[in-house]
Amino acid sequence: MNRIPESARTMPAFDSGDEDIDFGFRTVRRGDKSGLVRDVFDSVASRYDLMNDLMSGGIHRLWKTAMIDWMAPQPHQTLVDLAGGTGDISLRFLQAGGGRAVITDINEAMLSAGRQRKEFNSLGGRVSWCVGNAETLPFTSASADRITIAFGLRNVTDREAAIAEAHRVLKPGGRFLCLEFSQVNSAALARAYDAWSFHVLPRLGQMVAGDADSYRYLVESIRTFPTPEVLADMFAGAGFAQVRVRRLSAGIACIHSGWKLD
């Protein structure tokens, strides 16, 4: 039987590094992006959960609840939580009735912060932690029932590779869900959202985490992320069927869902 290992070492992304790619509003060499992203999350890991609350006014909790509710976890299911960081999605999955969760992240500092969360103490062998790259997952094919990525896909260098890897690792009948920031539908709300994002959030990042630049990058990375329609096409291109999109909070965030049929 195919098995998901308890832990694994980070595997290299399959890019040559000889072309440019977005890093917020900057362009960098493709091979440099993952290291730059790792530096961002090394810097903010210890304050990441607090900053999520401050950045979204706590609304990120409702968005994550909406994704878990749509997923409807079952006791027999194993989740692979990509860019799982401090384990928020996996914790919700297990508390909602899921069987087992593997929290995977390229950043050891984020996983370390997650391991310190007291909420995981009672879950015992139902949760494991794995340093791994979403583009080249260290898991066998057809070994997971559900795969999620929440607010992480925009930080991946090769997003299409990560989506294809999710398809590979899922069992037939498995489901992939992506929760990510998106484009606001209302022009008036968009102006207020931009003012909050570009002027307030970097200052909060400096005050709370001592790092304005990392939060400036996180804001910029939202603006350069593909539209919901383009991301849905990327799901379909990787082989996912029944691709659906749910817009949340006037489009500030979206959930994409796709099924692996065979």
Domain parsing of the chain, residue ranges: 37-259
The pLDDT value given to residue 45: 65
Q: Report yes or no: 78 and 101 within 8 Å, Cβ to Cβ.
A: yes
pLDDT the model gives residue 147? 98
**Stronger pLDDT, 166 or 25, i.e. the higher one:** 166
Per-residue pLDDT band at 58 (split at 50, 70, 90):
confident
Residue 209 has pLDDT above 60, yes or no: yes
**pLDDT tens digit sequence for 21-33:** 776 777 778 877 7
CATH number of 37-259: 3.40.50.150
Report the pLDDT value the prediction gives residue 176, as an integer from 0 to 100. Answer: 98
Q: What is the Cα–Cα distance from 190 to 183, expressed in whole angstroms?
A: 8
The mean pLDDT of the chain is: 85
17 or 148: which leads in pLDDT: 148
**Token reading at 6:** 């308890």
pLDDT value at residue 11: 35
At 70-106, the pLDDT tens digits run: 999 999 999 999 999 899 999 999 999 999 999 999 9
Residue 9 has pLDDT above 70, yes or no: no
Q: So what's the pLDDT on residue 18?
A: 55
For residues 41 and 51, is the Cβ–Cβ distance under 8 A?
Answer: no
Among candidates 236, 229, 235, which has minimal Cα distance to 251? Answer: 229
| pLDDT for residue 6 | 39
Q: Which residue has 């992939």 as its token pair?
A: 176
Confidence of residue 184 (pLDDT cuts 50, 70, 90): confident
CB 175 within 8 A of CB 257: yes
Has residue 63 got a pLDDT over 80? yes
Q: List the beta bridge partners of residue 26.
A: 23
| Reported pTM | 0.83
